[in-house]
Amino acid sequence: MEQQTQGEGFSPDTAATRLHRELRTRLCEGDFAPGDLISIRRIATEYGTSAMPAREAVRWLVTEGALVFSDSRKIRVPELNRERFHEVLFARKSLETEVSRQAFPRLTAADLVELEGIDARINAAIEAGDMQAYMRGNHRFHFLIYRRSRSRVLLPLVELLWLQYGPSMRQIGTRWGASRIADDHHRDVTHALSRGDREGFCNAIAADIEQGMRLLE
Amino acid sequence: MEQQTQGEGFSPDTAATRLHRELRTRLCEGDFAPGDLISIRRIATEYGTSAMPAREAVRWLVTEGALVFSDSRKIRVPELNRERFHEVLFARKSLETEVSRQAFPRLTAADLVELEGIDARINAAIEAGDMQAYMRGNHRFHFLIYRRSRSRVLLPLVELLWLQYGPSMRQIGTRWGASRIADDHHRDVTHALSRGDREGFCNAIAADIEQGMRLLE
DNA sequence: CGCTGCAAGATGTGATCACATACGTGTGAT
DNA sequence: ATCACACGTATGTGATCACATCTTGCAGCG
């Protein structure tokens, strides 16, 4: 059993890889809307590269389920129907409570401070009705926690779920206004963390995700 | 909310896609050993295509974690250390018990017969010490169940885990002989199914996976 | 006999071209 | 005015070449 220093996620620093990462975070943070058309050549010119890296990055996102073929030869951001979106949230709850349980003992006091800072910015974004800032903050809030789990197996799966979750959540949020998402459970998360209450912490994460499910009704 | 008939996994029938599927099942069924070197051009000539489709298929497998970069410019089947392999099995238990729970009410009497048939072939493979046949049978046993869940979200995640699980399990099995894996819980699975015992069914699946964890000690 | 060094091959990446097909538009006829 | 056909454009896919880098193997020298 060798060094195994660079787990699975390692890829050489190449143009295609950079583009892939860039598009991934943009998807998770809701920069794209469901139904948006994605063109390989357009992405290429947009980022100043040849078509080759864009082609690889886009095709990777398709295999990850972050993009789909709509008709033949048309790649777009998927529009999740209610059932599918519910499935994603259900899977998120299952995986992310587990990841949170593993992350909990590794979270430091500095992490708690940073989480509270992010939460403050999230609330400001909701107040201002800035959906993009809300999405970015929410993404960073959760993944600051999940990264601490050091899980090289579950964490990539959670990222895949967020790739599907991002665009549809942005759509739902912008469509129904920020008021409906105001009662997130981030405060419960940070409180449980400061109390050292592991199960309360996991339950708050689960409740935060379940609250997203209730948005569907 | 359109038709959404072809969920996420849809890809046009292209050379790269076919190669990708082929290599995926070969990995899940243990055709490759951890540490095996994968060359894009070699795969290309092996399957009679240009380098382009092989390049895409291999790179997709890298983004899925089924293959890794070892040194720079060297792609190989990953060797999971004990901790990592345990993580994969832990994630498998978490996801596959859930998928099994969703699949249970959809399993038919014909499915039960087919599962028993596969189980018989698995036992014959163990008897004969045919690790490859065991791997193939085990893969088909589990995924016949999981496909019935109709989950387009959790099922792809389970497949990702098997892509990592396959090669290392094959290695462990061939190294330690088939005797150690003889006491799988497939019989408990089919029995619980014939009794209509949903929780017993899920528990048998979980026990089957946990038995794999015990092989590590 | 052993070590050094250079050359040849192999590898992944990026770029460019050819190709088949789908879509949009504009022009022509009716 | 309306419909039909055709041409041009845009798309993803496949193939091929160039390039930088790394490995391998063999020859030449000490």
Query: Is there a contact between B87 and A154 if contact means CB atoms under 8 Å apart?
Result: yes
More confident residue, A103 or B214: A103
Cα A93 off chain centre by = 13
The Å distance, CA of A137 to C1' of C4, is 58
Cα–Cα distance, B64 to A35 (Å, whole number): 24
| Residue B199 buriedness (CB in 10 A; 0-12 / 13-18 / 19+) | exposed
Instruction: Supply the pLDDT for residue B10.
Output: 63
The amino acid occupying position A128 is A
Nearest to A190 by CA among A73, A112, A121: A112
User: pLDDT value at position A10?
Assistant: 63
How much is the pLDDT for B1? 30
Nearest-angstrom CA–CA distance, A159 and B73: 26
Taking residue B198's Cβ as centre, other Cβ atoms within 10 Å add up to: 14
Output the pLDDT for position B4: 35
Residues A34 and A78 sit within 8 Å (Cβ to Cβ)? yes
Distance A74 CA to C21 C1' (A): 12
Of B2, B59, B91, nearest to A79 by CB-CB distance is B2
Q: What is the pLDDT of residue B6?
A: 39
CATH 1.10.10.10 residue ranges in chain B? 15-76
Give the pLDDT of residue B2.
33
Question: Is B48 exposed, middle or buried, given 0-12, 13-18 or 19+ CB atoms closer than 10 A?
Answer: exposed
CB contact under 8 A, B164 and A151: no
**Structure confidence at residue A39 (pLDDT):** 95
Q: Rounded to an integer, what distance in angstroms lies between the CA atom of residue A26 and that of residue B216?
A: 40
Q: Nearest C-alpha of chain A: how many angstroms from B98?
A: 9
List pLDDT tens digits, range B64-114: 999 999 877 899 999 999 999 999 999 999 999 999 999 999 999 999 999
Sheet with B75-76, edge to edge strand ranges = B37-38, B75-76, B68-69
Could you give the C-alpha distances from B52 to B41, B46, B81, in angstroms and in order?
A: 9, 13, 32
Which is it for strands A75-76 and A37-38: parallel, antiparallel or unpaired?
antiparallel
Q: Measuring from the CA of residue A72 to each C1', which nucleotide is nearest?
A: C22
User: CB under 7 Å from any atom of strand C: which residues?
Assistant: A 11-12, 14-16, 49-53, 56, 71-74; B 38-42, 51-52, 55, 58-59, 73-75
Is the domain spanning A15-76 CATH 3.30.70.100? The answer is no
Architecture category of domain B82-214 in CATH: Up-down Bundle (1.20)
Q: Tell me the pairing of strands B68-69 and A68-69.
A: unpaired
Hey, is the C-beta of A62 within 8 angstroms of any chain B C-beta? yes
Provide the b/e sequence for A116-136 (b: ≥16 CB within 10 Å). Answer: bebbebbbebbeeeebebbbb
Report the distance separating Cα A182 and Cα B22, nearest Å. 47
By the CB < 8 Å criterion, does B92 face chain A?
no
A159 interfacial to chain B (CB closer than 8 Å)? no
Calculate the dihedral angle through the C-alpha atoms of B128, B132, B136, B139, rounding to the nearest 10 degrees: 100
Query: What's the CA gap between B18 and A16, in Å, rounded?
Result: 22
**Region(s) of chain A under CATH 1.20.120.530:** 82-214
* Residue whose CA lies closest to nucleotide D15 C1': B50
Long-range CB contacts (within 8 A, 24+) of B171-174: B171/B33, B171/B34, B172/B215, B172/B216, B173/B30, B173/B131, B173/B134, B173/B135, B174/B131
Rounded Cα gap, residues B196 and B98, in angstroms: 17
pLDDT tens for B155-197 read 999 999 999 999 999 888 888 776 777 777 899 999 999 999 9
User: Does the beta-carbon distance from A95 to B98 stay under 8 Å?
Assistant: no
Q: Among partner residues A59, A60, A151, which is closest to B87 by beta-carbon distance?
A: A151
Say how many C-beta atoms besides its own lie within 10 A of residue B13's C-beta.
Answer: 6
Amino acid at B176: W
pLDDT by residue, tens only, chain A of 217 residues = 333 333 444 678 899 999 999 999 999 988 999 999 999 999 999 999 999 999 999 999 999 999 999 877 899 999 999 999 999 999 999 999 999 999 999 999 999 999 999 999 999 998 888 888 999 999 999 999 999 999 999 999 999 999 999 999 988 888 877 677 777 789 999 999 999 999 999 999 999 999 888 887 7
Q: How far in angstroms lies nucleotide D7's C1' from the CA of residue A36?
A: 28
Q: How far apart are the first and last CA of chain A?
A: 50
| Mutation choice for B interface testing from A153, A161, A209 by most B CBs within 10 A | A153
Q: How far apart are CA B202 and CA B56, in angstroms?
A: 37
Mean pLDDT of chain B: 90
**A 22-41 near B (Cβ less than 8 A):** none
Q: Which residues of A touch B2 (CB under 8 A)?
A: 79, 81
Residue-level pLDDT at A1: 31
Q: How far apart are CA A49 and CA A58, in angstroms?
A: 13
